[in-house]
Amino acid sequence: MNFIKVNLDERSYPIYFGSSILKDFGKTCKSFFKSKKVVVVTNPTVGRFYFKVINDSLQKEGFEVNRIDVPDGEEYKTLTWASKLFDKLIALKADRQTPLIALGGGVIGDLTGFVAATYLRGVPFVQVPTTLLAQVDSSVGGKTGVNHRKGKNLIGAFYQPKFVYIDVDTLKSLDKREMKAGLAEVIKYGVIKDARLFKYLEDNIEILTQNSKLRTQNSALLHIVKRSCAIKASVVEADEREGGLRAILNFGHTFGHAVEAVTKYKEYKHGEAVAVGMVYASELSYIAGVCSKSVVERVRNVIKKAGLPTEGPDFPRKSFLKAMEIDKKVVGGELRFVLVEKIGIVRIEKVKANDIMPENRL
Ligand code: NAD
Ligand code: GLY
């Protein structure tokens, strides 16, 4: 099993990668934790596939395993559910040494991480991400949190896991639409930091969206997950709390969040909205004179090849701008965007409201 390290002084941690490694999870846990008790937080969908293997491997190492289920869905990433988890942890007599293990996608990871950051002022936690989005993005970097009725992820904490454990085999059971949504974030890493990864995606993205058996047999998957995590790790190492550079990870996200908001979070998966957002952000970069037209075309084409949308819904500019205002990326009332210069190189700039899509399309 190989790993890369996220270097953050005393908060440094490894990200382990492999195929069919869940059965060894207990051994890795044993090397990190002295506690006898562990708590696995999951949902019924993921638990049905992967709880048994995790449970068996933890028990084999002598852990007392407790399971807490959260219903499946973004609508449960709330303070109400965080509070229910606190109640359950208190009932289980979980103490400061008891690790919480987040087994699931980004929803389970964000919620469990937030609970771990705040229960008893902080208990250890581990990310076992099972969606592509969670493997390449949400499980790495320590952003944890819950949604508020006024906006997504408005309440949260930066809190790093003790380790991240990625078994790409779990993606076998993931549906194709979720897989593609995760690929949007991989494309993002290519645009912001890695022209070689971007080229690799241009050449291989169709393999990655094929049926699940082929997908996981293919080394392409392990390659893109590792490369994405390495890029995310390098950005987080340089700017853990998003004082500056980390904001480049939001490429396409300001538009993407607006697309999600105006469609009331019902039509687009996050990754699909980000795909549309990356096309708009590239177009905006061209309009602002920052990149050439061919950059916009390459971004649009690879997104199309991945089977992701390149167009958002029709909606008035006013509602679009309003949706952006609530976004946490608005600083002091100014709209700041991550603009692409060349594939692999981006910069953050203030942008005039008049230049903003969707009316202003190429
Ligand atoms: P998700 O957690 O809702 O998972 C998507 C669906 O896939 C769910 O129905 C889930 O039960 C199911 N699922 C998960 N793993 C599966 C598997 N292996 N097989 C079959 N089904 C499986 O969604 P997501 O896309 O993983 O994450 C979205 C969340 O992540 C959002 O709340 C978003 O805000 C958050 N996020 C956080 C960060 C961060 O840095 N913390 C970054 C990006 C996104
Ligand atoms: N997903 C954006 C970040 O982690 O900063």
Strand bridging mode 100-104 / 64-69: unpaired
**pLDDT at site 321:** 67
Residue-wise pLDDT tens digits, 265-283: 899 999 999 999 999 999 9
SS3 content of the chain, % helix, strand, coil (to 5): 55, 20, 30
- Minimal-distance CA residue to ligand 2 atom 3: 249
For the full predicted model, state whether its pTM sits above 0.75.
Answer: yes
CA–centroid distance, 93 to ligand 2, in Å, is 33
Residue range(s) in the chain whose domain bears CATH number 3.40.50.1970: 2-173
In terms of Cβ atoms closer than 10 Å to its own Cβ (0-12, 13-18, 19+), residue 12 is exposed
Q: What percent of the chain has pLDDT over 70?
A: 90
Strand bridging mode 143-148 / 151-158: antiparallel
Instruction: Quickly name the fold that domain 176-355 has.
Output: Dehydroquinate synthase-like, alpha domain (1.20.1090)
Average pLDDT over residues 329-340: 74
Residue 330 confidence (pLDDT) above 60: no
Q: Which two tokens stand for residue 218?
A: 């293919």
**pLDDT at site 212:** 67
Ligand with an atom nearest the CA of residue 134: 1
CATH number for the 2-173 domain, one of 1.10.3720.10, 3.40.50.1970, 3.40.50.10490, 3.30.70.890? 3.40.50.1970
Please tell me the distance from the alpha carbon of residue 37 to that of residue 62, in angstroms, as a whole number.
9
Q: Are 128 and 165 in contact (CB under 8 A)?
A: yes
Residue range(s) in the chain whose domain bears CATH number 1.20.1090.10: 176-355
The SS3 of residue 163 is: strand
Overall size of the chain counted in residues: 362
CA distances from 27 to 41, 102, 145, 253 (A): 19, 17, 29, 38
Residue-wise pLDDT tens digits, 339-356: 999 999 999 998 876 666
Please tell me the distance from the alpha carbon of residue 11 to that of residue 203, in angstroms, as a whole number.
37
Instruction: Give residues (CB < 6 A) around ligand 2.
Output: 137, 141, 143, 246, 249
Q: Is 328 left (phi over 0), alpha (psi -120 to 50) or beta?
A: alpha
324 membership: H or E segment, kind and range: helix 317-325
- Minimal-distance CA residue to ligand 1 atom 32: 107
Mean pLDDT of the chain: 92
Residue 6 confidence (pLDDT) above 70: yes
